[in-house]
Structure 1
Amino acid sequence: MSKRIEAKNLDIFYGDFKAVEDVSMTIEPRAVTAFIGPSGCGKSTFLRSLNRMHEVIPGAYVKGELLLDGEDLYAPAVDPVNVRRQIGMVFQRPNPFPTMSIKENVLAGLKLNNKRLGASEADEVAERALRGANLWEEVKNRLDLPGSGLSGGQQQRLCIARAIAMRPSVLLMDEPCSALDPISTLAIEDLISELKNEYTIVIVTHNMQQASRVSDTTAFFNIAGTGQPGKLIEMDSTQTIFTTPKVQATEDYITGRFG
């Protein structure tokens, strides 16, 4: 299911403001790519551009190319909703729908896309997604209880289950552990390591240790100053970025000299 993403000379704008400038990179399938860099450097904006989620802000647009297995995601005939079906997203804070049960939360994306499921098929989809998110054993006896009653870490895994129920090719995660305790963080990191066998995964994180633990490739973004666009400074295997980066700014950030 996983697919390759290629960005070619991608600029991202909000109205007249250029938020990200001239990013070219290849994100490989069945691997975890981490975006790191100081706050405001454009890494989350670039992440959201991968499934056109940034377009929910009026005036947002891109220049350049963004390809999913060679298909232009920004071609005029492409429906952003279809892009988001293929490229799922998990946000910084767990956001289960508070009035829905655990099972209803898992199936919410499918129902919002007008996919009709029989009772047995709904049960199968819910179980598959919850097993995929390593949550089934913890919730199988309380599927009809509110998703908001779960712990923070469980809620985040519920949101991952909701995303993978749609059978996407790519999973985007914007600081998925920043609101979680260390034990819940470990559970999410273990899950990410398992999910990469089926999905292309891209994660934004401010946690250097997390990036080094979970990712195969790391991209370092930086910004020249306030009001300047974010730029991709260096991208390489995670081992190379964290041991022998080619750019001094990358080493300075990873070692804590700034950011």
Structure 2
Amino acid sequence: MSKRIDVSDLNIYYGDFLAVEGVSMAIEPRSVTAFIGPSGCGKSTFLRSLNRMHEVIPGARVEGKVVMDGQDLYGSDVDPVDVRRTVGMVFQRPNPFPTMSIAENVLAGARLNSKRMRKSEADDLVESSLQGANLWNEVKDRLDRPGAGLSGGQQQRLCIARAIAVKPDVLLMDEPCSALDPISTLAIEDLIQKLKSDYTIVIVTHNMQQASRVSDATAFFNIAGTGKPGKLIEMADTATIFSNPTQKATEDYVSGRFG
């Protein structure tokens, strides 16, 4: 598990509209990379391009390359479903399947992949995934209860358990704490630190303190104005971005002078 991603000259379109322009970066394995920048600058669009989720929007397309350990994820012979299995996604708001139990939520992705399991295998996968999401001790006695009955922070960890149950190499997280209280946010941040030993993690966040706490590298995106494409302004290790960035726009953003 855990793969390096190299992005080269990526342009992302919605129909004729260029949403993100000319992004090149390297995302290191077993690390946390944070995307920061003002709303509308293309952070989440770019994040979704890393597992081809943006393609569910009609007319969406990319130019350029996204290469994971030597394989171009946009190659003509690559199945987007396989990409999404390898590159998991955790969304902004917790989205457990409301009609499924906690255990069924964890197993949903594995079963969607047509993986037949004996009950003992399924039980082991549920336990290991919930352990991995640091949720097992809180729910082990109520696995047959609805996943939607958990607290917001628990639901988000359940969604992380569901994502890691299919054994991806990369985890993408789109503002995973924006709907959570501070205590739940801390639990998710602690979990991210533990998960990075096994996964490549990319997180979009509007919380500068969170980016500085959880990430090893930070990429700052910006936009010149309404109708303009988002661009990567600067990327470096997180300590450099927050203490000694090379671009004034980056310094202004991380210091709170705009955005």
Sort the TM-score into its range (normalised by shorter chain).
over 0.9
Match of 1:22 in 2: 22
Aligned amino acid, residue 73 of structure 1: L
Structure 1 residue runs without a partner (length 5+): none
- 2:221 equivalent to 1:221: yes
Alpha-carbon shift at residue 155 of structure 1 (Å): 0.1
Identity of counterpart residues, as a percentage? 77
Kindly tell me the number of residue pairs found equivalent between the two proteins: 259
Distance 1:245 1:77 in 2: 40
Query: Secondary structure in 1 aligned to 2:95?
Result: coil
TM-score of the pair, normalised by structure 1: 1.00
1:234 aligns with 2:234: yes
- Indicate the SS of the match to 2:22: strand
SS in 1 for 2:40: coil
Please state whether the residue corresponding to 2:96 is helix, strand or coil.
coil
CA-to-partner distance for each residue in 1:208-247, whole Å, 9 max, x for gaps? 0000000000000000000000000000000000000000
Cα distance in 2 between the residues matched to 1:75 and 1:237: 30
User: Which residue does the alignment assign to 1:42?
Assistant: 42
Aligned to 1:77: 77
CA distance in 2, matches of 1:159, 1:255: 32
Structure 2 equivalent of residue 206 of structure 1: 206
The superposition leaves residues 85-128 of structure 1 with CA deviations (integer Å, 9 ceiling, x where unpaired) of 00000000000000000000000001111111110000000000
Which runs of at least 4 in structure 1 moved beyond 2 Å after TM superposition? none
CA distance in structure 2 between the aligned counterparts of 1:252 and 1:53, rounded to whole angstroms: 31
Structure 2 letter corresponding to 1:244 = N
Query: 2 CA distance for matches of 1:115 and 1:171?
Result: 21
Question: Is residue 133 of structure 1 aligned with residue 123 of structure 2?
Answer: no
What's the counterpart of residue 158 of structure 1? 158
Q: Which residue of 2 aligns with 1:182?
A: 182
2:172 maps to 172
Distance 1:117 1:68 in 2: 29
2:143 aligned partner, one-letter code: L
User: Paired residue for 1:257?
Assistant: 257
Give the 5 Å matches for 1:53-92.
53-92=53-92
How large is the RMSD of aligned CA atoms in angstroms?
0.3
Q: CA deviation at 1:80?
A: 0.2
CA distance in 2, matches of 1:72, 1:112: 24
Q: Distance in 2 between matches of 1:108 and 1:218?
A: 32
State the partner residue of 2:110.
110
CA drift of 1:35 comes to: 0.1
Q: Letter of the aligned partner of 1:34 in structure 2?
A: A
- Identify the residue that residue 101 of structure 1 maps to in structure 2: 101
Deviations 1:147-204 (A, max 9, x none): 0010000000000000000000000000000000000000000000000000000000
**How far off its partner does 1:256 sit?**
1.0
Question: Structure 2: which 5+ runs fail to align?
Answer: none
- Distance, in Å, in 2 between the alignment partners of 1:235 and 1:153 is 30
